């Protein structure tokens, strides 16, 4: 790949990654806000907030997938590298969080009867740990990649 092409690819990755980061920060704020709504027992508002957060999160995932594919095409994968291990952890936790969040939101689908939701409490707890962890790992990756 020519130097000029590499510069264009790097610039594209930076732009898309920055957009994804901004949206993920919005998602993180929505997750924290939604969690606080749940603590205040405003369950319907909590569900609506999470219904907004999940599609935003899924949109950023599509951008991140594009970025990682472009990055992997231009760089070699070194499994012993800390950056690679953090990336694998981020991707794994992110997939788990997105899957759980999507399933929870789809299964909720604006129900009036919240009793079924309370039965999913353990799954929700897993999602609330996985989701912010994956986002924070993504922020760390962004900072490390941008600074390098």
pLDDT, greater one: 141 or 81: 141
pLDDT, greater one: 30 or 83: 30
CB of 31 within 8 A of CB of 132? yes
Instruction: Tell me which residue range forms the domain holding 24.
Output: 3-147
Domain count, the chain: 1
The gap from C-alpha 70 to its chain's centroid, in whole angstroms, comes to 19
Q: How confident is the model at residue 96 (pLDDT cuts 50, 70, 90)?
A: very high
For residue 127, the model assigns a pLDDT of 87
Instruction: Give the global pTM.
Output: 0.76
């Amino acid at each position: 790949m020519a130097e000029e092409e590499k510069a264009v690819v790097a610039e594209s990755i930076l732009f898309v990654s920055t957009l994804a980061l901004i949206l993920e920060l919005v998602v993180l704020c929505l997750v924290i806000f939604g969690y606080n709504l749940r603590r205040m027992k405003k369950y319907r508002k909590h569900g609506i907030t999470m219904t907004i957060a999940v599609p935003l999160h899924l949109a950023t995932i599509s951008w991140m997938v594009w970025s990682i594919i472009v990055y992997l095409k231009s760089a070699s994968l070194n499994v012993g590298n800390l950056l690679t291990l953090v990336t694998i952890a981020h991707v794994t936790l992110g997939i788990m969080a997105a899957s759980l969040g999507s399933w929870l939101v789809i299964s909720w689908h604006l129900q009036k009867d919240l009793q079924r939701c309370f039965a999913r409490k353990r799954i929700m707890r897993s999602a609330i740990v996985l989701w912010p962890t994956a986002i924070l790992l993504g922020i760390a990756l962004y900072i490390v990649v941008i600074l390098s």
